[in-house]
Structure 1
Amino acid sequence: MIIISLLLLGSLLPHLSFSASVNVGIVNGTEARPHSRPYMVSIQQYGRHKCGGFLISDQFVITAAHCREGTGTLTVVAGAHNLRDTKSVRIGVSSYVKHPSYKPVPEEAKPGDIMILKLEKKVELNSNIKKILIPTAPGEIKKGTDCSVAGWGRLDTNAALSPKLMEADVKVRLNADCARLWARLYVASEMMCTHGHGGSCDGDSGGPLVCGNTAVGVTSFGCKDKCNDPNLPEVYTKISAFLPWIHNVTNSYN
């Protein structure tokens, strides 16, 4: 009877419903070398860090669509390592462009969780402020690929936000495993997931998953009850699945 019960439980696991947190500091990470990730930006609301993001040009930032729920004004802070440092550059946002397929429905899959911010003015690129490459063509990142994440989010599930940029190494998981573990919340064609000793937490949403020197994903969601849960991998919006849309948006302003 015990063996039969275990087999039945195993067959049900892919269909179980999990809660996802869509504002996923870095847990079990280390402090980044100051300005070693010059593409990183802090996206702030009412003077407080809300999400991460990254520069893809001197005027456009990519982040997660859920980072702007409602109509609140966001500000981009570039060139920062310690957010308490007043020397960083603060820039307003003139346009918020969410992917049209994104719908903020609680406890449902969130396809299209990607947003482009057009800055009010071009930021001056320098040693502390640089853009990062994004993929040039669609494609999958191989299982086991070494990548990294970074952010100013919480250092643990119930901890405070980190004033300094933290980072962690992660590995890409097999897409089929991601779909099995997250069930209906996972859209395999436009998402990817990772695992590692460290990972994202509340406040890291919108930051990039970086493999080599390229941003391949946008931090989207993770386990609601436990940051970097070893049983539920962190999920990212796959940038390569949205390349035509990204180019259409950015070119429309030229």
Structure 2
Amino acid sequence: MTIIIISLLLLTSLLPHLTFTAHVNVGIVNGREAKPHSRPYMVSIQKNCLHICGGFLISDEFVSTAAHCWNKLENLTVVVGAHDLKNKTEGSVRIGVKSYHQHPNFTEEPVMSDIMLLRLDKKVTQNEKVNWIPIPMKEEDIEVHSVCGVSGWGRLETNGALSNRLMETYVKIMNNTNCENKWREDNYYSTSQMMCTYGNGGSCTGDSGGPLVCGDTAVGVTSFGDPDLCNSPKLPEVYMKVSAYLPWIHKFIGNFFLILP
């Protein structure tokens, strides 16, 4: 009920700025620049100091992202506390990755269990620019048509440039059966571990791994969509459902997320 109320309040406040229609793939299409540091859980995952994926802090030393964002032969770093990735004076911090934990059931073809945890070299310092976000307490589905947020530094349009500044938009939760039907030909969709959205905007290439946030909770990990068109009207954007992976997440971070900031 709390998520529904918050979602309605968000929708009411955003109506002058947003209209709704659908998107996909895996900065944000048809979005707007986020208020600087209004999403302190957001993380830029980088290879050779270049942004490749999004992620989000779920504790003081663990980042959640998409499993497909990491090739086992490469080393990644994460940047916390950033808004403009080109601004070296805003106080963002680059941190190395101590260990990589791809879900053991992750597959690329078809995409399944596309979730990964990164354990950082050092614990983050909590402040107004850096903070972790709660994840679900138990496995549950978000009510259809709930308004939720997505954000990232990905492309602003298909084959376009990445965004230096964090962008955001709001989307709605799609009926799971409808989503499964839209992806049926590709046999890519699992109703038990995935969820999808529709709206006027959404994620694009470079936003993979970022969170789908409903209320104040990260309920999904941006995973995949139409490979040819961001904001596709045909194939909705797909997220790994965080609540479906709680036992696995517990193994690494214990009950940390029960002790919220």
Q: Which runs of 5+ in 1 are unaligned?
A: 1-19
Secondary structure at the aligned position of 1:243 is classed as helix
CA contact (8 A) 2:133 2:216 kept: yes
Match of 1:4 in 2: none
Match of 1:5 in 2: none
Q: 1:220 aligns with which of 219, 223, 226?
A: 223
In 2, Cα distance between equivalents of 1:145 and 1:209:
12
Q: How does 1:48-127 map to 2 (within 5 A)?
A: 48-86=50-88, 87-105=91-109, 108=110, 110-127=111-128
2:237 pairs with 1:241: no
Secondary structure at the aligned position of 1:223 is classed as coil
Secondary structure at the aligned position of 1:246 is classed as helix
Secondary structure at the aligned position of 2:203 is classed as coil
In 2, Cα distance between equivalents of 1:250 and 1:93:
15
Q: Deviations over 1:180-218 (max 9, x none)?
A: 001110011000000110111000000000000000000
Secondary structure at the aligned position of 1:194 is classed as strand
2:181 pairs with 1:203: no
Q: Which has the higher contact order (CA 8 A, sep 6+)?
A: 2
- How far the C-alpha of 1:127 sits from its partner, in A, is 0.4
- Equivalent pairs, count: 229
Q: Tell me which amino acid in the other structure corresponds to 2:241.
A: K
Instruction: Report the identity percentage.
Output: 58
Q: Which runs of 5+ in 2 are unaligned?
A: 1-23, 257-261
Match of 2:194 in 1: 191
Provide closer, same or farther for how the CA distance between residues 252 and 33 of structure 1 changes in structure 2, counting only shifts above 3 A: closer
- How far the C-alpha of 1:251 sits from its partner, in A, is 3.3
TM-score by length of 2: 0.86
Q: Deviations over 1:53-101 (max 9, x none)?
A: 0001110000000000232101010000000122310000000001100
Match of 2:180 in 1: 179
Match of 2:38 in 1: 36
Q: Tell me which amino acid in the other structure corresponds to 2:95.
A: I
Larger Rg: 1
Match of 2:13 in 1: none
Match of 1:166 in 2: 167
In 1, Cα distance between equivalents of 2:149 and 2:233:
16
- How far the C-alpha of 1:252 sits from its partner, in A, is 11
In 1, Cα distance between equivalents of 2:59 and 2:71:
24
CA contact (8 A) 2:171 2:200 kept: yes
In 2, Cα distance between equivalents of 1:252 and 1:149:
25
Secondary structure at the aligned position of 1:72 is classed as coil
In 2, Cα distance between equivalents of 1:217 and 1:230:
21
Q: Tell me which amino acid in the other structure corresponds to 1:75.
A: T
2:152 pairs with 1:148: no
Q: Tell me which amino acid in the other structure corresponds to 1:242.
A: Y
Match of 2:133 in 1: 132
Secondary structure at the aligned position of 2:182 is classed as helix
In 1, Cα distance between equivalents of 2:233 and 2:31:
15
Q: Tell me which amino acid in the other structure corresponds to 1:64.
A: A
Q: How well do the aligned residues superpose, as a CA RMSD in angstroms?
A: 1.4
Match of 1:7 in 2: none
CA contact (8 A) 2:59 2:253 kept: no
